[in-house]
Chain A
Amino acid sequence: MPRMTMIEAIRSAMDVAMGRDDDVVVFGEDVGFFGGVFRCTHGLQQKYGVSRCFDAPISESGIVGTAIGMAAYGLKPCVEIQFADYMYPAYDQIVSEAARLRYRSAGDFTCPMVIRMPTGGGIFGGQTHSQSPEALFTHVAGLKTIVPSNPYDAKGLLIAAIEDPDPVIFLEPKRLYNGPFDGHHDKPVTAWSKHALSEVPEGHYTVPLGQAVTRREGAAVSIIAYGTMVHVALAAAEDTGIDAEVIDLRTLVPLDLEAIVASVEKTGRCIVLHEATLTSGFGGELAALVQEHCFYHLEAPVMRVTGWDTPYPHAQEWDYFPGPARLGQALRDIMEAR
């Protein structure tokens, strides 16, 4: 089976989707001729022509607004916002329009589209190339939100997202794009080509939305994570020797509550982990659900390990990033908590 980086897997997903369905169109800033600043759409214009993969003016509201119009016509646009940090001009189109089109027209018009965007830090991108705005999407009824953690999932989830009848936000952790990243920024790491999850089938397959997966079985504590943080969780479990179970959510909405509940009922302890800021982050939702559904199984309060409630700094990136050291401390604390 071919080995792919995250970028290659994402490109392959669009390639497969465009090959199977003429209605799939791909556009965004620098996406056409050049193939995207991260090269995720490289070669698609050559293969499918300029009317199916093209460069957009620098207008995120324009990109999403026209994509909604195309979706209303019957196409399946898969558009790229160059960085999640630049989606704000499109936020009105996403929240007020894409998310509600089916509802407000009673299914008369629908919005089958995917909005891809690189997310997260770890590349010294400063405050405008590092944000994790997933909670701004999960809070909106009508949107589905996906954050893959590896090439295999990225491709399967993206194909599923493109085939989905509703608008899907597809957040691509840019720290994982080329890999390698094993949770530690300051230690040698394994390249994607040596990771099992970089084995990606050439052709069509899907990873269904709404299904979490256990990345590491453990009995002591459940770590609920997604995207880049899955790798941090695995590293911290390794470092501390604490027998943590690592749940990779993959899809935030719809959420695989059963997987979470099953794990926490087994371990009795839960840490929620994300790179985004703490206050009103998706971790708050997860902690509330665990409390509601697993209260009588809990042996310690649910903990959240997240980015600080500040903009993402440049020089102090790794002091901001909730890495294995911070998570390791939380793991030790939660094991001692009674």
Chain B
Amino acid sequence: MSSDEAGKAPATIQPLKFHVPQPASRPGEKPDFSDVVIPKAGSVARPPVDVDPKDIRDLAYSIIRVLNREGEAVGPWVPDLSPEDLVRGLRHMMTLRSFDARMQMAQRQGKTSFYMQHTGEEAVSCAFRIALGPHDMNFPTYRQAGLLIAHDYPLVDMMCQIYSNQRDPMKGRQLPVMYSSKENGFFSISGNLATQFVQAVGWAMASAIKNDTRIAAAWIGDGSTAESDFHAALVFASTYKAPVVLNVVNNQWAISTFQGIARGGSGTFAARGLGFGIPALRVDGNDYLAVYAVAQWAIERARRNLGPTLVEYVTYRAGAHSTSDDPSAYRPKHESDEWPLGDPLVRLKQHLIAIGAWSEERHKQAEAEILATVIAAQKEAESFGTLHSGGKPSARDIFEDVYAELPPHLRRQRQQIGV
């Protein structure tokens, strides 16, 4: 090529084309999950925790599953959980679902401003919490209340937060569901997506710096992995081999945006870890046993100074994003019925029945008991007020906790408001 030809387009060159990924189906169309490839339960190998990350790159592209279609637990990932443990797990998930239903209704009744449900994703946070130690720290998003419920955090306290009432532990300052409980290993939730993901890495680094034994768990949604903080978390976790479990909850949607917009051309969200040398696993997020088993594997790695693990939970957001959202505008109405990994509660229930540890009758009874417990908690919480009636946090609380000590300018402002 002569020098004046260099850089010139050949005559045959095509115009460039702009690519925007599209979901398989939209409202009015038939739901289509044919691109979600689901391996057989029990088919994925379970490597030792000290495996060389480069030997398990395929785990970032598969899905670890334990419960098969018949409700049997099969394969190398079957965890060491007793029937009693599993019944407890089922009850946690049922409690979360019942809690969601009541709070969703309370929002509709105008008792609070906003709510976010977990429908279809209950197994992820409920099972993970059981695998974690009592003193470890989660850096959650707004869709992991199972971390609190499975740790027996009082439902009343959660509801008081949702109602922003006089007993709200957050003093009315935070949007509903933005809980915080250091004692329960639950970092204060931020409304700003992804910020917590890198903070979890810092917490884990601190624990290592102090030769502590506690580890951290970072949480993020599929859509939020696009934020820079996600990538910063991976590089810091990789560089410092931080004792952290990096959890990506892929519920297929980020409000109206399907996961292909955040994932782009990479095969999976888990595969994001590979470039950082972080072992990455994908797990059936609607399979309580599989979630527990994979969480345990990743937690053990962190605990044994083997460094971070990236886990992608493949699940589906069966409900609306929040009470401000209506998914019928952007996805087929009955898409959730077609979700190939089913309902986590139904699957665990089916398993428990299959092993003779549960029955339809006991399930009905448990459902009624749980509903009664949630309703009693709600009554108690409402006795301390709801957003628009009854006991309220004080206007004084606006000014507290901005700093450790109230500075003079805030004291003046507080005087102005007369509280």
Contacts and interface: CB of A to CB of B under 8 A. Distances in A.
Nearest to A123: B113
**Dominant SS at the B interface?**
loop
Query: What is the size category of the interface that chain B forms with chain A?
Result: 35 or more
A254 interface: no
A125 B413 contact: no
Contacts of B168: 315
A126 B178 contact: yes
B175 A126 contact: yes
Given A86-B192, A127-B191, A57 B261 contact: yes
Interface in B317-362: 324-325, 329-330
A124 B387 contact: yes
A172 interface: no
A29 interface: yes
Contact of B257 (A29, A85, A319): A29
Contacts of B190: 128
Interface string A309-338: 111011110011000000000000000000
Contacts of B397: 313, 316
A59 interface: yes
Contact of A30 (B113, B175, B228, B256): B256
Contacts of A61: 228
A103 interface: no
A314 B388 CA distance: 12
A37 B320 CA distance: 13
Given A33-B256, A37-B255, A308 B330 contact: no
Interface string A232-275: 00000000000000000000000000000000000000000000
A16 interface: no
**Dominant SS at the A interface?**
loop
Given A51-B18, A126-B174, A34 B395 contact: no
A50 B255 CA distance: 18
Nearest to B22: A50
Interface in A32-64: 32-34, 37, 50-51, 54-62
Contacts of B261: 55-57
A289 to B, nearest CB: 22
Contacts of A128: 175, 190-192
8 contacts: A55-B257, A58-B223, A58-B224, A89-B228, A314-B176, A315-B168, A315-B172, A315-B393
